[in-house]
Structure 1
Amino acid sequence: MIIGIDLGTTNSAAAIWRDGGPVLVPNSIGDLLTPSAVSIGDKGEVFVGMAARERQPTHPRHTVTAFKRYIGTQQTVALGKRSFDAEELSALVLKSLKADAEAFTGEEVTGAVITVPAYFNDRQRKATRRAGQLAGLKVERLINEPTAAALAFGIQTREQEPFLVFDLGGGTFDVSIVEVFEGVVEVRASAGDNRLGGEDFNARLIDIARPKLDPGKELEKVDPVVLVELLRAAAERARRKLSEADEADFTIVWDGREYSTTVSSLAFEDGCAQLLQRLRDPVLRSLRDSNIRVEALSEIVLVGGATRMPIVRRAITRMFGRFPNATVHPDHAVALGAAVQAGLLARDSALEEVRLTDVCPFTLGVDMAEPDGRGGYRSGIFSPIIDRNTAIPTSRVNYYTTLSDNQRELRFGIYQGEAREVAGNVKLGELKVPIPPKPAGHVSAECRFSYDSSGLLEVDVTIPGTEITRNLVIVDESDFTAAQIEERRAALAKLKLHPRDEAENAAVLARAARCYEGFTGMQRDMIGQAIGAFEGALSTQDPRVIREARVALVATLDQIEGERFL
């Protein structure tokens, strides 16, 4: 059985596809949410979920939360006598969710669809897959969190207009713009901030309350680790209270004494002004990348527990000039969407008409050199090949030439990111290609990137006029069999035709050429301009731009040929 898992920073959840719909899985104590917390007991026993969360104030050196923020890094945390990295801690949470699903269904869970923030990079995604494998799961697919929420929302609404998913969780913030049409849930653009979430709002609440909490500075005597956990727990309670009231008590108890102050919603909002401002950039980027105006959005769908905060909802209302849609359960939508994807992978008959298309969250490209203005070259410059928010699967190509006389080799560093210099991006691999020695600029290389929804990136480099080719496959998971990789490469091979050579485009160009030869004067000029616009669209290699230009060219040809026969 395949289950859907929302592996969250603060809470996690599992869901299954059953009887034609997604169903949340209760954990061992009957809750639908499992805190993403791990604690080690005095005898080495492992506590996961609520039991671990409850131990955090009393056993801060043996308990950890919010470790998802460090997945894909080398950072470790010491719990008791041993250290854990974020992969291992995430695996413990996933293993607990797997056991809950097996107890709930009475079936063995073999695979999972696990959600990740849309802006997780390659290292973070690979680490999440490894965590699933450590938990005894075959990770069938990683799906972006706002995409999962959109999938849960989209199959219910069947909306025609695009809508925006605003996902602010405990540790991350994601935005996706989605369209649903004819059974297709299409992600137009995603953006996000991996260091913005409810935990940051808690930290600001502590900054506001801490100076007023203890004028006598008696709390400075408290063990710093213990004090951090006392303040964190108080901030979480106060933040939740501020979601319902205009003010909240911020209270901790230490050594039998209560330390308390009151925080108003207005003071909280003022203190979080910079955090609220950071919500704007991913929204603007997603709108810009999707080429959709804010007025064209049918809904603003809220996902993630932190969207319950009134200060966040007010900021969203000001940002979009309308009230957001709060009908989707903010804590459940992502897990439910993951279960829908699990149902799709299991080929459930109730989902035959639903298809999901996603986008590449980061730009993929290579390093290159550019003239430095002094007769030399500056190396380490990022050359994008597949832009972020390109619909996947996709295949794109760029061309590069040699810089030195008698150069014997071209070296392509493969990178993921948005920085102009590759040092600011994530290196995925490297490909070396031998070339014939010729004068600078006389040898060119065709570099093609092909990328699919499973995270498989295939890089092909060909030297035109020679038989030299090199290939590199970068896989987002470690448990693919050779046969599975070949199967996915075969699927990508179908995308490697230049858009000009695809049957539909070739047919339209042939018709346009025939019409151009058959008309004169103003009509010929109109056809020529339409052909030029279409050829410009073909050069972008963007399927959406090409489709729109093809429709315009066909309309022009229909109009002119129709006039000829009147």
Structure 2
Amino acid sequence: MGFAMRARQSGPPVAVGIDLGTSCCRIGLWRDGDVLIVPNERGCLATPNCVGFLDCTGPVVGDAAAEQAAVNLKNTIFAPQRLLGATYDSPWAQRLRLQGPPEIVKGEDDSALYSIQDRGKSRLMRPEEVLAVLLHEMKRQVEQCLGVTVKCAVCTVPSKYGQKQRKALTEALHKAQLEVLALVKAPTSAAIAFSLTNPIEGPRNVLVLDFGACYCDFCLLTLHGKCLYERAVGSEFVDLDSLLVRFCLTDIKLRLGIDMSSDWAALLRLSMACESAKRKLSQWNQTRVNVEALIQGSDYCVAMSRSYFEEFCSRDIDSLMEIFDICLVESGLERDAVDVVLVGGSSRIPRFRRLVKDFFRGQQPSELLRPDHAAVLGAAVYAAALAPPAPGNSGKEDSEGEKRPGPTEPDSTPSTRAGVGTGMVGTGSGGGNPGIYSFDGLRLEEILPWSVLLETSSAPAPEDLEHLLDVPCNEAFGPRPPRESFVKRPSQSYPVTQ
């Protein structure tokens, strides 16, 4: 898995895979027998989900937007996808509104809108409009880097997304001039990448745990050949960054007697420092949360050991094992009958890895070489499988005689099997080893209803589940309510066949 900066040249239309994570997004495509993750203008494979609106120029996105956020907080939006499909009165929108700028107001249709200043003019923007700015910039970077025309995309979504959120995301992709091939749940997309890089004959059950910045999404699948069957999915809100911020705010109040809970610019800088410290504690035994000129012009520094960090966030991490147990029990599977795959940045936390290993009776969890990129790898492969055939490639027929589209670029070998090269796991270039595993005719099918994990003590009516938005709750925001079992409902998933 690599990337290259090539001169701009004309080329055929291509399909891309987009991983729209909580904190960062990534974009990749199938090229020369491998998945190529395209870097942004800074050379990074991950772009922060951040859009900033300025007084004199157009909007900035990614790292540039995050860097100016502290001095332009009212016009900088982080992770706009969190408000997709939300009404103003929903608990999720109200929580984000109370977190500070940018201002969230009520629209004519009771939707939640961002109120910002764009080039000196006041604007009310829907979340999908803000997200379209970010998606359009990612699309432009691919076209500028590789000299191709991006026409269509497969995009990952959180497991908790309902039809209302999916519809809003589809609208954002259309505004970014992208045709939507499919919306795939993030852990399912990671399972595609895992199945292609770890081919095993015969059926097997796989539980993918996608532990990201704020959520732990999971998906239980049965893999059999080129078919992936979703059996259950779920999501749990686990915001460890907020726990660290809350610890630091308490430390500042006890040591200095200063309440910083309403200083939004300082909280943003402190949050970034806490996120950096969390990442370091996955590798080091001790680190520091260090922010210059945070408190009335004075620096703030506090030491943090890994053992102490794991102790005060143990409640949230340990409770995840209960959710996994519910998933397996209701699916009728034993722990030793499931292969476990860890993806997502927070899956590197040592305590989480130990708990998962102990929960599954000593079974060593599997993972891709770069768990952060697992979802975009699967999305890029699935985009290649669903994309219309390129000129001169009329497509292939599967075993049932149905016409299936070929990949976005013709295979370099005469074989009709398009292989995923070993470069997908970072061990070399994929062009020289075709046929490891065929993704021609790749299908995603669901044989059981989609399971949604509720945080409320009483289950809502079935008609209310379609637009369900979960309410985050952990130690940073209050006591955790009683947890109900899984609530089954028919899945409104992405299209399987064309």
**TM-score between both structures, scaled by the size of structure 2:** 0.70
The structure where helix makes up a greater share of residues is: 1
User: Structure 2: how far apart are the matches of 1:93 and 1:123?
Assistant: 20
Alignment of 1:359-378 (within 5 A): 359=446
> Which residue among 252, 258, 261 is the counterpart of 1:213?
252
Output one character per residue of 1:257-280: Cα deviation in whole Å (capped at 9) or x when no partner: 211111222222222133213423
> Which residue among 420, 439, 450 is the counterpart of 1:388?
450
Alignment of 1:154-303 (within 5 A): 154-159=195-200, 160=202, 161-193=204-236, 196-197=237-238, 200-213=239-252, 215=254, 217=256, 219-220=258-259, 224-254=263-293, 255-298=296-339, 300-303=340-343
Change (3 A) 1:94 1:389: same
Structure 1 counterpart of 2:180: 139
Structure 2 counterpart of 1:57: 70
> Secondary structure, in 3 states, of the residue corresponding to 1:42?
coil
Change (3 A) 1:103 1:225: same
Structure 2 counterpart of 1:435: none
User: Structure 1: how far apart are the matches of 2:491 and 2:205?
Assistant: 25
- What is the RMSD of the two structures over their aligned residues, measured on CA atoms? 2.8
Question: Which deviates more from structure 2 when the two are superposed, residues 302-311 or residues 181-190?
Answer: 181-190
Structure 1 counterpart of 2:30: 17
Could you tell me whether the CA contact under 8 Å between 1:67 and 1:89 is conserved in 2? yes
User: Structure 2: how far apart are the matches of 1:353 and 1:184?
Assistant: 11
- Residue type at the aligned position of 1:327: L
User: Structure 1: how far apart are the matches of 2:244 and 2:175?
Assistant: 36
Output one character per residue of 1:60-113: Cα deviation in whole Å (capped at 9) or x when no partner: 222221332222113333333334332122211211111111122211111111
- Residue type at the aligned position of 1:358: E
User: Structure 2: how far apart are the matches of 1:52 and 1:244?
Assistant: 28
User: Structure 1: how far apart are the matches of 2:461 and 2:253?
Assistant: 47
User: Structure 2: how far apart are the matches of 1:191 and 1:356?
Assistant: 21
Structure 1: 5+ residue stretches without partners: 361-385, 391-417, 429-448, 457-487, 492-566
- Residue type at the aligned position of 1:302: L
Structure 2 counterpart of 1:79: 116
Alpha-carbon distance, 1:305 to partner:
1.2
> Secondary structure, in 3 states, of the residue corresponding to 2:150?
coil
Alpha-carbon distance, 1:427 to partner:
6.4
- Residue type at the aligned position of 1:45: G
Structure 2 counterpart of 1:538: none
Change (3 A) 1:282 1:67: farther
**1:314 aligns to 2:338 (yes or no):** no
Change (3 A) 1:342 1:427: closer
Could you tell me whether the CA contact under 8 Å between 2:157 and 2:184 is conserved in 1? yes
Could you tell me whether the CA contact under 8 Å between 1:213 and 1:261 is conserved in 2? no
- Residue type at the aligned position of 1:164: L
User: Structure 2: how far apart are the matches of 1:53 and 1:180?
Assistant: 40
> Secondary structure, in 3 states, of the residue corresponding to 2:366?
coil
User: Structure 2: how far apart are the matches of 1:202 and 1:352?
Assistant: 38
User: Structure 1: how far apart are the matches of 2:129 and 2:213?
Assistant: 20
Structure 2 counterpart of 1:90: 131
Could you tell me whether the CA contact under 8 Å between 1:148 and 1:333 is conserved in 2? yes
Could you tell me whether the CA contact under 8 Å between 2:156 and 2:183 is conserved in 1? yes
Change (3 A) 1:314 1:109: same
User: Structure 2: how far apart are the matches of 1:320 and 1:450?
Assistant: 29
Alpha-carbon distance, 1:354 to partner:
5.0
Structure 2: 5+ residue stretches without partners: 1-13, 87-110, 388-405, 408-415, 419-437, 453-457, 469-488
Could you tell me whether the CA contact under 8 Å between 1:5 and 1:14 is conserved in 2? yes
User: Structure 2: how far apart are the matches of 1:47 and 1:34?
Assistant: 12
User: Structure 2: how far apart are the matches of 1:163 and 1:452?
Assistant: 21
User: Structure 1: how far apart are the matches of 2:490 and 2:83?
Assistant: 29
Could you tell me whether the CA contact under 8 Å between 1:115 and 1:338 is conserved in 2? yes
Could you tell me whether the CA contact under 8 Å between 1:234 and 1:252 is conserved in 2? yes
- Residue type at the aligned position of 1:356: R
> Secondary structure, in 3 states, of the residue corresponding to 1:82?
strand
Question: Which deviates more from structure 2 when the two are superposed, residues 131-140 or residues 213-222?
Answer: 213-222
- Residue type at the aligned position of 1:23: L
Output one character per residue of 1:281-323: Cα deviation in whole Å (capped at 9) or x when no partner: 442343234322110123x211111212223223322332333
User: Structure 1: how far apart are the matches of 2:301 and 2:375?
Assistant: 36
Structure 2 counterpart of 1:377: none
> Which residue among 442, 445, 470 is the counterpart of 1:358?
445
Could you tell me whether the CA contact under 8 Å between 1:4 and 1:14 is conserved in 2? yes
Change (3 A) 1:219 1:192: same
**1:326 aligns to 2:367 (yes or no):** yes
User: Structure 1: how far apart are the matches of 2:271 and 2:491?
Assistant: 42
Alpha-carbon distance, 1:125 to partner:
0.9
User: Structure 2: how far apart are the matches of 1:185 and 1:249?
Assistant: 43
- Residue type at the aligned position of 1:129: T
User: Structure 1: how far apart are the matches of 2:281 and 2:187?
Assistant: 26
User: Structure 1: how far apart are the matches of 2:335 and 2:137?
Assistant: 41
Could you tell me whether the CA contact under 8 Å between 2:163 and 2:467 is conserved in 1? no
- Residue type at the aligned position of 1:142: L
Output one character per residue of 1:329-357: Cα deviation in whole Å (capped at 9) or x when no partner: 12111011001111111322514555232
Alpha-carbon distance, 1:186 to partner:
2.8
> Secondary structure, in 3 states, of the residue corresponding to 2:450?
coil
User: Structure 2: how far apart are the matches of 1:167 and 1:301?
Assistant: 8
Alpha-carbon distance, 1:53 to partner:
1.5
Question: Which deviates more from structure 2 when the two are superposed, residues 12-21 or residues 59-68?
Answer: 59-68
Structure 2 counterpart of 1:545: none
> Number of residue pairs matched?
381
Change (3 A) 1:309 1:84: farther
- Residue type at the aligned position of 2:113: T
Alpha-carbon distance, 1:215 to partner:
4.3
